[in-house]
Amino acid sequence: MEQTSLHFRENATRALADPQLQRALGNVKTGFILKRAAARASLPEFDALRDEATAIKTHVIDHLDIYLEEYERRVLASGGHVHWARDAAEAREIVLAICREAGAKTVTKGKSMVSEEIGLNAALEAENIRPVETDLGEYIIQLRREKPSHIIAPAVHLNRDQIEGDFRAAHVDLPPERDLSQIVELVGEARTVLRQQFLAADVGITGANFLIAETGSSVIVTNEGNGDLTQLLPRTHIVIASLEKLVPTLEDASTILRVLARSATGQEMTSYTTFSTGPRRDEDPDGPDAYHVVLLDNGRSAMLGTDFQDMLRCIRCGACLNHCPVYAAVGGHAYGSVYPGPMGAVLTPQLTGIHDAAHLPNASTFCGRCQAVCPMHIPLPKMMRHWRERDFAGQSALATPKLAIRAWAWFAKRPGFYRFATAAQGRVLSLLPRSMLAKLPLARGWTPYRVLPKPASRPFLAQWEAREQEKLRRERPHHG
């Protein structure tokens, strides 16, 4: 998967100047934030449930090895198969092998961030297997050959007219004079087109919101029902999920479900929450003949015992994205990685190395809203700070800030030089006309929007000293 996190600054600059994107991002603010607040207000136990949900995941992570074993045992007992993948390449190879064996030509897919993470679609296409994304948002971005810009609303960066253009370009069999001016017509067209794909698919691939150790079940949470048609109709159902999706029991899943939809879309509960266990039973008239689970590590086990262990509690609700002022300003694509926003700023360096993602933990105002709304109480700002520290200590991709901080430190440790330098700088700047202050080098991020204020002609330290001297002079007792 191509990653452009190294270019966060360029990406962000472009995003801020993109009027289509800015219009689309307005929907995040009015939609998700208000709806979550309303859902929270109507359930007095919401915060207590967050505490419980957090405790459940903390417990699972502390006992992850045993839960994985218990879960595997239950899947096998229900007639399913479990495959283990250390990294993205292994996971792709396992999925491809199952698809080859099933003689798959078309594969339908429910929305899965793990699939994005491992770059599954490109691997399928390279084998002449056609992946069809069936979540409406994912379908749209697949047509555009883009990445999702949000973990629960993949096409939130787009507007209706753009999608109309995509549909006209892709669905060439349909009459060109058809009316697509309303959103409901676009949804209807996608329904018709994807119906045929659901029925034709040989393999269905879904992610999982939870894996349940008690029963060996995988759980998907959707509103569209696309994940269900994906996993019900083809002969083979493949679930791809990362290790930390484990929860102990149906009761524990129920507790987390109570905070998931409310945090994500502000719904009390999504339309469909589906628990799948093994293949169809002998007497069943429908359902897949084979059920495979691919358990992906890809950097998760390496987070255990580190400053980032708590990140494994994440249930991918997207609340931290929705409430992040940086995300709201630049959108998800600027992050240049599969996972955007605050959770992405913590997760991406883990998955790809801090060198390629060094900008992301800095793409934050450290306002703390992400942590405040996170249903799993993940200390996101603290973790971003940890990445900054590691980045600073190691081989950094960000030479400029590092150099700047080193230089500042050199001066700060030498008060004489420091005073001399700041005084000199202040005098120079205060002599410059306003027009030049508006165009100073190294201040590009500021100067297009506001003029740099004229500094005082004497620096703070000098003024302070003078003031203290003056005080002393006045307080000195007068000898008559």
Partner 1 sequence: MAEKVSTEKTMSARDAIMAHVRKGLGVRGDEPGRRGVVQTRLRNPVANLIPERAKGTKPELVKQFQTMLENGGTGVVRVRTYKGVPDAVATALRERNLPSRVRLGSDPFFRTFEAEPGLLEILGGAAEATDLVGLSHAFAGASETGTLFLASGPDNPSTLNFLPEHHFVLIDASDVFGSYEECWVKLRGVLGAGVMPRTVNLISGASRTADIEQTIVKGAHGPKSLAVFIVGSARE
Phi, psi of 299 (to 5 degrees): 95, -10
Rounded Cα distance between 333 and 41, Å, is: 32
Residue 233 contact, options ligand SF4, partner 1, none, Cβ 5-8 Å cut-off depending on partner type: partner 1
Q: How many residues comprise the chain?
A: 480
Minimum gap (Å) between residue 155 Cβ and partner 1: 6
Of residues 160 and 427, the one with the C-beta less far from partner 1: 160
Torsion of CA 319, 154, 358, 8, to 10 degrees: -120
Minimum distance from residue 151 beta carbon to ligand SF4 (Å): 7
Q: Which of the ranges 250-258, 359-367, 458-466, 470-478 carries the binding residues for partner 1, by CB under 8 A?
A: 250-258
Min separation Cβ 348 and ligand SF4, Å: 13
User: What's the DSSP call for residue 366?
Assistant: -
Q: Which of residues 345-374 bind ligand SF4 (CB under 6 A)?
A: 374
SS3 call for 336: coil
- Taking the C-alpha atoms of residue 3 and residue 15, their distance in angstroms, rounded to an integer, is 17
Q: Are 219 and 209 in contact (CB under 8 A)?
A: yes
Taking the C-alpha atoms of residue 232 and residue 443, their distance in angstroms, rounded to an integer, is 57
Asked if 376 touches ligand SF4 (CB under 6 A), the answer is yes
Instruction: Name the binder of 268 from partner 1, ligand SF4, none, CB < 5-8 A by kind.
Output: partner 1
Q: Is 375 a binder of ligand SF4 (CB under 6 A)? A: yes
CA atoms within 13 A on the CB side of 86: 0
d(CA 131, CA 147): 15
Tokens of 314: 């994440």
- Count CA atoms within 13 Å of residue 373 on its CB side: 28
Among 127, 251, 468, 470, binds partner 1 (CB under 8 A): 251
Residue 251 binding result from partner 1, ligand SF4, none, given CB thresholds of 5 to 8 Å by partner type: partner 1
Q: Which of residues 252-311 bind partner 1 (CB under 8 A)?
A: 252, 254-255, 257-258, 265, 268-281, 283-287, 290, 292, 295, 297, 301-306, 309
Residue 107, SS3 per DSSP:
strand
Tell me which residue has tokens 């484990």. Answer: 246
Q: Indicate the residue among 78 and 447 with the shorter CB distance to partner 1.
A: 78
Residue with Cβ nearer ligand SF4 (155 or 320) = 320
| Residue 98 found at the interface with ligand SF4 (CB under 6 A) | no
Does residue 378 interact with ligand SF4 by CB under 6 A? yes
**Residue count, binding to ligand SF4 (CB under 6 A):** 13
Task: Mark 299-338 with x for binding to ligand SF4 (rule: CB under 6 A) and - for no binding.
Answer: ---------------xxxxxxx------------------
Please count the residues of this chain forming the interface with partner 1, following the rule CB under 8 A: 112
Provide CB contacts within 8 A for 195, sequence distance 6+. Answer: none
**Residue 320 binds what, of ligand SF4, partner 1, none (CB under 5 to 8 Å, by partner type)?**
ligand SF4
Element (H, E) at 87: none
Please state whether beta strands 210-212 and 217-222 pair in parallel, antiparallel, or not at all (unpaired).
antiparallel
Question: What is the helix (H) or strand (E) element at residue 160, kind and residue range?
Answer: helix 160-170
Mask for 209-248, x = binds partner 1 (CB under 8 A): ----xxxxx-----xxxx-xx--xx---------x----x
Name the residues that contact ligand SF4, by CB under 6 A: 314-320, 343, 374-376, 378, 380
